[in-house]
């Protein structure tokens, strides 16, 4: 009798588990972090090390692959701290992560001449490629600053040919919840010890992230028939270092598994026609939609109070 009861219980449990599994779609996403060694303007060399160790510690513990994109000019922000910043970059490689190029000084393709922009790409390789060589790695990914792929198609294609010629694969982005807009306000609150504001910012950031994912998961399904393997744009900042665990939990609840950028880019979506041009960069789902003549409508609205707080900072951040 007891055995029979156990059998019934396990049968109910099994069907319940199958039901829950069916309700959670299997989704995949690769994490990328831009503006290394640290996105924030006022972050010292020592803080950069501390922040990097915290961020990478969580990622390593949870076995999450990630690629970090470097602006080498940031290494020389304050004289005397160069070593610490280089050490922070090395940490990415020692922990088993990968680095890519984000140009030397975060140059926008629409705002500089193509030749100067190409110089920026080459100059952005100096230290990073040396560090990668020490780990028997070669730089293979490039991320456009401001996601700016060029204001006209000829410039865009010439820049792409240049990057391919130097051995790069362009790293697109499909998901972006503007963590950089939160990060400046968050770092200011952190410095002042304002825990209430930090929590409000975190709540808002996670809520907005949820809205962005809701929107683009549905939108991509309508546009291309399925949800592609996603690429998430994040930045090297204290918001992510302190709370990447919360973000990972949110994504897991949505059914996401964490994959390498290489795996994500194997999705056929990334070979679809893409003729997007414009001075304002945007994500690749928008690129595909605009190319097909179906630009996204009614995208989630970014919380205005965060924009206002950000603008009121002594040194308001510019879009990275």
User: CA dihedral defined by 300, 267, 169, 317, rounded to 10 degrees?
Assistant: 10
The Cα 72–Cα 50 span in angstroms is 19
Q: 3-state DSSP call for residue 320?
A: coil
Tell me whether residue 34 or residue 227 sits nearer to Zn ion (CB atom).
34
Residues within window 127-166 making contact with Zn ion, judged by CB under 5 A:
145
Tell me whether residue 34 or residue 98 sits nearer to Zn ion (CB atom).
34
**Min. distance of Cβ 195 from Zn ion in angstroms?**
28
**Min. distance of Cβ 36 from Zn ion in angstroms?**
9
Binding region for Zn ion (CB under 5 A) out of 33-41, 59-67, 124-132, 151-159: 33-41
The candidate with the shortest Cα–Cα distance to 181, out of 82, 32, 302, 288, is 302
Please identify the residue of the shown chain whose CB is closest to the bound Zn ion.
Answer: 320
Q: Contact between 35 and Zn ion (CB under 5 A)? A: yes
Q: 3-state DSSP call for residue 37?
A: coil
Q: Which H or E run includes 84?
A: helix 82-94
Residue 177 and residue 209 in contact, taking contact as beta carbons nearer than 8 Å: yes
Q: Which H or E run includes 190?
A: helix 179-192
Residues within window 255-274 making contact with Zn ion, judged by CB under 5 A:
none
Q: 3-state DSSP call for residue 176?
A: strand
**Min. distance of Cβ 13 from Zn ion in angstroms?**
47
**Min. distance of Cβ 320 from Zn ion in angstroms?**
4
Tell me whether residue 124 or residue 145 sits nearer to Zn ion (CB atom).
145
The Cα 110–Cα 113 span in angstroms is 8
Q: Contact between 179 and Zn ion (CB under 5 A)? A: no
**Min. distance of Cβ 279 from Zn ion in angstroms?**
16
The candidate with the shortest Cα–Cα distance to 319, out of 69, 68, 146, 72, is 146
Tell me whether residue 56 or residue 147 sits nearer to Zn ion (CB atom).
147
Tokens 């070669």, located at residue: 138
**Min. distance of Cβ 103 from Zn ion in angstroms?**
9
Q: Contact between 34 and Zn ion (CB under 5 A)? A: yes
Tell me whether residue 220 or residue 237 sits nearer to Zn ion (CB atom).
237
Q: Which positions lie near Zn ion, rule CB under 5 A?
A: 34-35, 145, 320
């Amino acid at each position: 009798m007891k055995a029979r009861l156990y059998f019934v219980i396990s049968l109910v449990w099994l069907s319940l588990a199958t039901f829950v599994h069916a309700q959670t779609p299997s989704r995949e996403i690769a994490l990328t972090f831009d503006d290394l060694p640290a996105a924030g303007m006022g972050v010292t060399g020592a803080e950069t090390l501390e922040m990097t160790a915290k961020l990478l510690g969580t990622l390593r513990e949870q076995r999450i692959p990630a690629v970090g994109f470097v602006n080498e000019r940031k290494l020389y922000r304050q004289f005397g701290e160069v070593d610490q910043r280089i050490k922070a970059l090395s940490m990415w490689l020692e922990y088993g992560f990968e680095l890519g190029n984000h140009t030397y000084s975060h140059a926008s393709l629409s705002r500089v001449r193509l030749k100067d922009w190409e110089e920026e790409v080459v100059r952005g390789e100096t230290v990073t490629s040396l560090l990668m060589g020490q780990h028997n790695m070669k730089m293979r990914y490039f991320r456009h600053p401001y996601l700016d792929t060029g204001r006209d198609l000829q410039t865009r294609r010439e820049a792409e040919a240049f990057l391919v010629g130097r051995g790069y694969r362009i790293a697109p982005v499909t998901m972006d919840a503007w963590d950089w807009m939160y990060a400046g306000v968050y770092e200011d609150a952190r410095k002042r010890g304002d825990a209430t504001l930090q929590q409000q910012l975190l709540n808002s950031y996670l809520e907005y992230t949820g809205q962005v994912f809701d929107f683009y998961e549905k939108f991509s399904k309508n546009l291309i028939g399925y949800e592609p393997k996603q690429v998430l744009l994040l930045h090297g900042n204290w918001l992510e270092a302190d709370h990447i665990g919360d973000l990972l939990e949110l994504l897991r609840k949505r059914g996401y598994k964490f994959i390498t950028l290489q795996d994500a880019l194997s999705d056929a979506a990334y070979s679809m026609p893409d003729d997007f041009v414009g001075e304002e960069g945007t994500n690749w789902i928008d690129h595909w939609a605009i190319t097909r003549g179906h630009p996204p409508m009614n995208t989630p609205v970014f919380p205005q109070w965060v924009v206002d707080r950000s603008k009121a900072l002594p040194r308001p951040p510019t879009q990275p």
